[in-house]
Amino acid sequence: MLEAIESQLKDLLKKAGVTGEVEFSKPPKSDMGDVAFVCFGLGKNPKEEAEKLAKVLKIDSLELIDEVKAFGPYVNFFFNAGELACLTLEEASKKEYGSNNSGKDKKVLIEYPSQNTHKEFHIGHFRNVCIGNPLVQFYRKSGYKVIPINYVNDFGRHVVKALWYIQKFDKKPKGNKQKWLGEIYAEASKHIEENKEEVTPELDELQTKLEAREPETMKLFEETKSWSVGGFKNLMDELDVEHDSIIYESEVKDRGQEIVDELLEKNIAEVGERGAIIIDLEKYNLGIAVLRKSTGGGLYHTSDLALAEKKFKKYKVEESINITGTEQNHYFKQLFKILELNGFKHKMTHIGYGLVNLPSGKMSSRAGNVILYEDLRDEVFASLKKETAERHADWSEEKINKTVHTLTMAVLKFTMQKHESNKIITFDMEEAMSFDGYSAPYILYATARINSLLRKGGKAKKINTALLKEAEEKKLLMLLGEYGEVVEKALENYNPSTVARYCFELAQAFNDFYNKHSILNVEDKDLVSIRLALSGAVGQVITDSLGLLTIETVEEM
RNA sequence: GGGCCUGUAGUUCAAUGGAUAGAAUAGAAGCCUUCUAAGCUUUAGAUCGAGGUUCGAUCCCUCGCAGGCCCA
């Protein structure tokens, strides 16, 4: 609800003697009113209180409220559509509509998707980006300065596996080298898993060479790493991720080892049974964290300790957020506890999102059923292109490709964003390819219709909001008024699906309006104007909210 | 064994203690000489189980059951 409206209602209630916290809700059906005041806090019998209150409220002086009615323990307000439009439309047409200032002068860092070099970029990584992108936008919309960074692990066992396999079987890259390398990694994993005993010594040997920075190994390492890095750069551009910088694991590893030494000196860490450096976190119900292998080698924690330090030193942010799969929830609880024990005072937040499973089960390189982002993209593109070409025989190849590209990105992102982020999703190719219902094309179709109307109807001239009277128009106005709260809620819960749902609801309400009432073909030209203005505002808010999901709209489809 | 997450129409998901539990999809029946039918209307269909707290529980607590993830 818009602030201007809320303050009017609060004022009204205050004059009627309602004190304390005021709670509003949305009536279940629009014929029951537009906003409900909840009377449970008022007295012993909320039903009676509601009836009493409904009689006492002085609405005559208020343009906004046509009627007040008690429904059980609620007092419901019926708004005047014209006045509602007057308050809403101008506001909603502003560019900064929906934004707030809660993050003024604050700076946060968001780390995602933090993939590994030498590995594939599959639809799980893609989900990470689809959650990280909106988060960056939510913070910005709330006035924060945001620094997106990427932390890339370029120096672990996974690298050894890929390099060993390339050397052993003399593999040569073809096509997209980043993608090829990922596929090679998957093959290598599978092969190594199946021949574990024979190949482990060879892998260990190569790891030693790599860690000792033996020239020939380093040459292959650098070359292959550059393929990943280059490919990832292109992917991040394609997905609208604007990393301020990339930190590589190899850059922070040594400092991590120093921190482990400090922890030992301070007696926070100890030497475990088999010579590894550990921290016993049983007291905090977090088990035991291993900071260094008995061989002296580092582990994830080793580097992450240094990464945390670097983030705050280098970027001077108030909070650091990182996004990974929920399977790492425990790991990050441990990490944050260790940092706390070491006197680290900065705010760290970990956001876990659920796995992307397939109808056949978990994705696994070993089982060879991983869906790569690029493959999915190409498949969706082809399917949408066929559909679009059939609908628009008169379009040029260029126009088709441009439109289909936007549609493809919208479909892919929305598929990942429509569900709550901490839930495991089952990715169903058929469902992703069906462009009906709760999907990006549904929403983009509504905006394409609006664009078409605006093209034909031209700019609205005379605005007479009093002409808006229909229930469908009111519904749209009410929804437009919710945008700011939707943005706040989405940020509060780190949940892009809140915004995704809102876009859909708005599109749904517009389609309903569009089907029941004519916008351009009515006698009264002033009514045409005001309906165009309403449509324009809806289009603008849908476009802006989709923008938060880094989804673009199309002019026509 | 311990910790965390999840359980809602046939299916995929909403609903942060409040009204008659909402959508989408699949099913059934309709709507294009009218602003884009990737659309709209109608219809049928659900809270894992047992207790507890509360005026009121899908939501909070306890104990089960089922699935997932993580840690020894």
Query: A426: which strand partners?
Result: A357
Instruction: Give CA–CA dist A51/A73, Å, rounded.
Output: 8
- Choose one of A357, A383, A405: the last residue of a domain: A357
ipTM, interface predicted TM-score of the complex: 0.96
Both A276 and A411 in one domain: the answer is no
Instruction: Give CA–CA dist A444/A533, Å, rounded.
Output: 19
Both A28 and A69 in one domain: the answer is yes
Show pLDDT as tens, one digit a residue, over chain A (557 residues): 898 999 999 999 999 988 877 889 999 888 899 999 999 888 778 888 899 999 999 888 899 999 999 999 999 999 999 999 999 999 999 999 999 999 999 999 999 999 999 999 999 999 999 999 999 999 999 999 999 999 999 988 899 999 999 999 999 999 999 999 999 999 999 899 889 889 999 999 999 999 889 999 999 999 999 999 999 999 999 999 999 999 999 999 999 999 999 999 999 999 988 889 999 999 999 999 999 998 888 899 999 999 999 999 999 999 999 999 999 999 999 999 999 999 999 999 999 999 998 877 888 877 778 899 999 999 999 999 999 999 999 999 999 999 999 999 999 999 999 999 989 998 888 888 889 999 999 999 999 999 999 999 987 677 899 999 999 999 999 999 999 999 999 999 999 999 999 999 999 999 999 999 999 999 999 999 999 999 999 999 999 999 999 999 999 99
Both A208 and A278 in one domain: the answer is yes
The separation, in Å, between residue A151 CA and nucleotide B60 C1' comes to 39
Say what the pLDDT of residue A45 is.
Answer: 84
| A98 assigned to some structural domain | no
Determine the protein residue whose CA lies at the shortest distance from the C1' of B37. Answer: A515
Determine the protein residue whose CA lies at the shortest distance from the C1' of B25. Answer: A437
Name the nt closest to A411 by C-alpha to C1'.
B38
Instruction: Give CA–CA dist A476/A506, Å, rounded.
Output: 7
Name the nt closest to A73 by C-alpha to C1'.
B19
Say what the pLDDT of residue A547 is.
Answer: 98
The separation, in Å, between residue A414 CA and nucleotide B33 C1' comes to 37
Determine the protein residue whose CA lies at the shortest distance from the C1' of B72. Answer: A287
Contact A154, A248 (CB under 8 A): yes
Say what the pLDDT of residue A460 is.
Answer: 66
Instruction: Give CA–CA dist A363/A369, Å, rounded.
Output: 6
Both A228 and A346 in one domain: the answer is yes
Determine the protein residue whose CA lies at the shortest distance from the C1' of B22. Answer: A28
Both A274 and A401 in one domain: the answer is no
The separation, in Å, between residue A233 CA and nucleotide B6 C1' comes to 35
What's the burial of A403, exposed, middle or buried (CB within 10 Å: 0-12/13-18/19+)? buried
Both A56 and A9 in one domain: the answer is yes
The separation, in Å, between residue A121 CA and nucleotide B26 C1' comes to 33
- The residue to which tokens 């009377």 are assigned: A39
Give the single-character DSSP code of A283: G
The number of distinct structural domains making up chain A is 3
User: Which positions in strand B are less than 7 Å from the protein's CB atoms?
Assistant: 2-6, 12-16, 18-20, 22-26, 34-41, 55-56, 68-72
Both A426 and A351 in one domain: the answer is no
Residue A306: domain span: 112-357
Contact A321, A109 (CB under 8 A): yes
**Which tokens belong to A420?**
């709550």
Both A301 and A379 in one domain: the answer is no
Give a three-class secondary structure readout of A351-403. EEECCEEECCECCCCCCCCCCEHHHHHHHHHHHHHHHHHHHCCCCCHHHHHHH
Interstrand relation of A288-292 and A35-38 (parallel, antiparallel or unpaired):
unpaired
CATH label of the domain that carries residue A49? 3.30.1360.70
Name the nt closest to A422 by C-alpha to C1'.
B5
| A135 assigned to some structural domain | yes
* Cα angle A324, A362, A116; round to 5: 40
| A365 assigned to some structural domain | no
| A440 assigned to some structural domain | yes
Instruction: Give CA–CA dist A206/A246, Å, rounded.
Output: 26
pTM of the model: 0.95
Determine the protein residue whose CA lies at the shortest distance from the C1' of B40. Answer: A515
CATH label of the domain that carries residue A170? 3.40.50.620
| A99 assigned to some structural domain | no
- Choose one of A79, A99, A133: the last residue of a domain: A79
Both A164 and A201 in one domain: the answer is yes
Give the single-character DSSP code of A267: T
**Which tokens belong to A66?**
């046509």
Say what the pLDDT of residue A44 is.
Answer: 77
- Choose one of A57, A79, A101: the last residue of a domain: A79
The separation, in Å, between residue A72 CA and nucleotide B27 C1' comes to 37
Both A168 and A198 in one domain: the answer is yes
Instruction: Give CA–CA dist A55/A75, Å, rounded.
Output: 10
The separation, in Å, between residue A84 CA and nucleotide B21 C1' comes to 29
The separation, in Å, between residue A335 CA and nucleotide B63 C1' comes to 33
Name the nt closest to A392 by C-alpha to C1'.
B36
| A526 assigned to some structural domain | yes
Both A204 and A147 in one domain: the answer is yes
The separation, in Å, between residue A137 CA and nucleotide B6 C1' comes to 28
| A556 assigned to some structural domain | no
Closest CA to A431 of A440, A422, A421: A440
Closest CA to A542 of A447, A449, A477, A439: A447
CATH label of the domain that carries residue A482? 1.10.730.10
Both A344 and A380 in one domain: the answer is no
Query: A74: which strand partners?
Result: A38, A71
| A233 assigned to some structural domain | yes
